[in-house]
């Protein structure tokens, strides 16, 4: 069968760090209870749950703000990106 | 959901616009399918943003078909798997609305007619986005696109959205459903269910596109919910040709609430009075609410 990696390596888009597209930066605050709703809605696969808390991978986060809008606890705040 | 169930098969670093609904759809579609999956995609945004050479975002084997033949390519992949005796491989098509409603309709019809064991998923962003927002058979009535512009004499697309789930059902497919990225548990349940059924299956997933529809990237999910809550985009499964398990909207929103947050409909509110067109869109919603029991 056609196996993953036959033509090119799987998941190699990780070389393309999209974090520098960001103009707004999501910050997860203490209000986060780890429900994981943001993780299901992030288009960029850059939220993981660690110790019942959402953790954002800023190497790839494009700052769309979906996570902040969809968080039922309003636990994610969008700030101006200064880096 | 336990953490091991949060399997992620779309790698970051893909080149979708920030806030892309189609990228959200990919993650939600691949999760219940798991690694033992082969995906086929027609040309379109998903194909483009996941596959610049040697920087694939796919964590499962993936094939790019032409714009017009993803159904036929998937049939071929299934035939090859059968010859090799590979019985338990999940096979999914992930194609856009242009690739499904318009140019790929013939190949999809053939796949359905042959009863090939494929789950065909159309991610529906309601226009040809990858080439710059041209109208498709899925574009809703009155939406402005680059080929259905608004102006003094034009109010956007004249035709109504094509009923592709109905067309697929007419082929006696094994499973037909619609879904939206705004309701991920429902979407993932439908993908899992379809995948477990033998034969041709079709799921149409509503995927708002912030660039083509004209709304802020942060609002993708909210816009998706409004489409359902107004009744414009019905979410259902089909059994014996009848819609079942319809997503109900406790409080139906007036269509204006959906229209006014998107610039593809902004001409309906200014320049010239377009109240009649808004009424027509509300009538489409009312008919859906009645027909589907939303
Ligand atoms: C035969 C053919 N005609 C035209 C094109 C150019 N083309 C590439 S993608 C695309 C539109 C795809 O629209 P859709 O299927 O809705 O996917 P989207 O880009 O919206 O995700 C077009 C017209 C092509 N690749 N092949
Ligand atoms: S801002 Fe967008 S890309 Fe960044 S973590 Fe939130 S949802 Fe993901
Ligand atoms: S144009 Fe729309 S569908 Fe295409 S990548 Fe951008 S947001 Fe996604
Ligand atoms: Mg499209």
Q: Which atom of ligand 3 is nearest to the CA of B133?
A: 1
**Chain A interface mutation, best of B12, B92, B261, highest count of A Cβ atoms under 10 Å:** B12
Identify the contact set of chain A against chain B, taking CB-CB distances under 8 A: 1-4, 6, 8-18, 21, 36, 39-46, 48-49, 57, 59-60, 62-66, 68-70, 78
Per-residue pLDDT of chain A (83 residues; tens, 9 = 90+): 567 777 889 999 999 999 999 999 999 999 999 999 999 999 999 999 999 999 999 999 999 999 999 999 999 999 999 97
Among the listed residues A7, A76, A6, the one whose alpha carbon sits nearest the alpha carbon of residue A42 = A76
Q: What integer is the mean pLDDT of B73-85?
A: 97
User: What residue ranges define each of the domains in chain B, with the CATH number in brackets?
Assistant: 4-292 (3.40.50.970)
Partners of A54 in the beta sheet? Answer: A49
Positive or negative torsion for Cα A31, A36, A37, A41: positive
How confident is the model at residue B173, as a pLDDT? 97
Per-domain boundaries in chain A: 12-80
Strand B237-239 versus strand B242-244 pairing type:
antiparallel
Six token digits for residue B113? 């007619």
The torsion angles phi and psi of A35, rounded to 5 degrees, stand at -65, -30
Count of all residues that appear for chain A in the document: 83
Q: Which residues approach ligand 1 with their CB closer than 6 A?
A: B 22, 43-46, 67-68, 96-99, 125, 127-131, 136
Question: Top-level CATH class of A12-80?
Answer: alpha beta
- Contact: A1, B24; criterion CB under 8 Å: no
Which residues are CB-contacts of B227 (< 8 A; sequence separation ≥ 6)?
Answer: B180, B182, B206, B208, B233, B258
Asked whether A54 and A32 are in contact (CB, 8 A), the reply is yes
User: In angstroms, how far is CA B184 from the centroid of its own chain?
Assistant: 13
Using the mean position of ligand 2's atoms as its centre, give its distance from the Cα of residue A38 in Å.
Answer: 8
Which residues are CB-contacts of B187 (< 8 A; sequence separation ≥ 6)?
Answer: B25, B28, B29, B179, B180, B181, B205
Q: What is the dihedral of CA B164, A44, B129, B63, to 10 degrees?
A: -70
Burial class (CB within 10 angstroms; exposed 0-12, middle 13-18, buried 19+) of A20: exposed
Average pLDDT, chain B: 96
- Contact: A66, B220; criterion CB under 8 Å: yes
H or E element at residue A25: strand A24-28
Q: Over the stretch B176-224, which tens digit does the pLDDT of each residue have?
A: 999 999 999 999 999 999 999 999 999 999 999 999 999 999 999 999 9
Q: What integer is the mean pLDDT of B149-158?
A: 93
Using the mean position of ligand 1's atoms as its centre, give its distance from the Cα of residue B281 in Å.
Answer: 27
Six token digits for residue B39? 């995906």
Q: ipTM score of the complex? A: 0.96
The torsion angles phi and psi of A53, rounded to 5 degrees, stand at -145, 140
Q: Which of A16, A62, A79 to mutate to test the pocket of ligand 2 (most atoms within 8 A of CB)?
A: A62
């Amino acid at each position: 069968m056609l196996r993953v990696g036959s033509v090119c390596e799987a998941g190699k888009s990780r070389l393309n760090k999209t974090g520098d597209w960001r103009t707004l930066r999501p910050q997860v605050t203490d209000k986060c209870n780890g429900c994981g709703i943001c993780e299901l809605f992030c288009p960029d696969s850059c939220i993981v749950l660690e110790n019942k808390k959402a953790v954002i991978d800023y190497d790839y986060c494009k700052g769309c703000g979906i996570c902040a809008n969809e968080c039922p606890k309003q636990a994610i705040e969008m700030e101006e990106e200064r880096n | 959901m336990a953490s091991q169930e949060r399997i992620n098969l779309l790698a970051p670093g893909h080149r979708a616009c920030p806030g892309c609904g189609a990228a959200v759809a990919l993650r939600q579609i691949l999760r219940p399918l798991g690694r033992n999956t082969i995906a086929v995609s027609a040309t379109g945004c998903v194909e483009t943003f996941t596959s610049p050479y040697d920087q694939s975002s796919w964590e499962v084997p993936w094939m790019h078909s032409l714009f017009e033949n993803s159904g036929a390519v998937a049939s071929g992949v299934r035939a090859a798997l059968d010859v090799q005796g590979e019985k338990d491989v999940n096979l999914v098509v992930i194609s856009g609305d242009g690739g499904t409603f318009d140019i790929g309709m013939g190949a999809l019809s053939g796949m359905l007619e042959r009863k090939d064991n494929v789950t065909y998923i159309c991610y529906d962003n309601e226009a040809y986005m990858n080439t710059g927002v041209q109208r498709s058979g899925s574009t809703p009535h009155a939406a402005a696109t680059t080929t259905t512009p608004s102006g003094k004499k034009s109010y956007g697309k004249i035709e109504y959205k094509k009923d592709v789930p109905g067309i697929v059902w007419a082929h006696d497919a094994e499973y037909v459903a619609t879904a939206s990225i705004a309701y991920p548990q429902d979407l993932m349940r439908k993908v899992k269910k379809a995948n477990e059924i033998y034969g041709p299956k079709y799921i149409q997933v509503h995927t708002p596109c912030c660039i083509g529809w004209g709304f802020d990237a942060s609002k993708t999910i909210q816009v998706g919910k409004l489409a359902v809550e107004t009744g414009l985009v019905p979410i259902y499964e089909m059994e014996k040709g009848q819609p079942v398990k319809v997503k109900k909207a406790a409080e139906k929103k007036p269509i204006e609430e959906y229209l006014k947050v998107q610039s593809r409909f902004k001409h309906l509110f200014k320049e010239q009075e377009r109240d009649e067109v808004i009424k027509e869109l509300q009538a489409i919603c009312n008919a859906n609410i009645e027909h589907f029991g939303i």
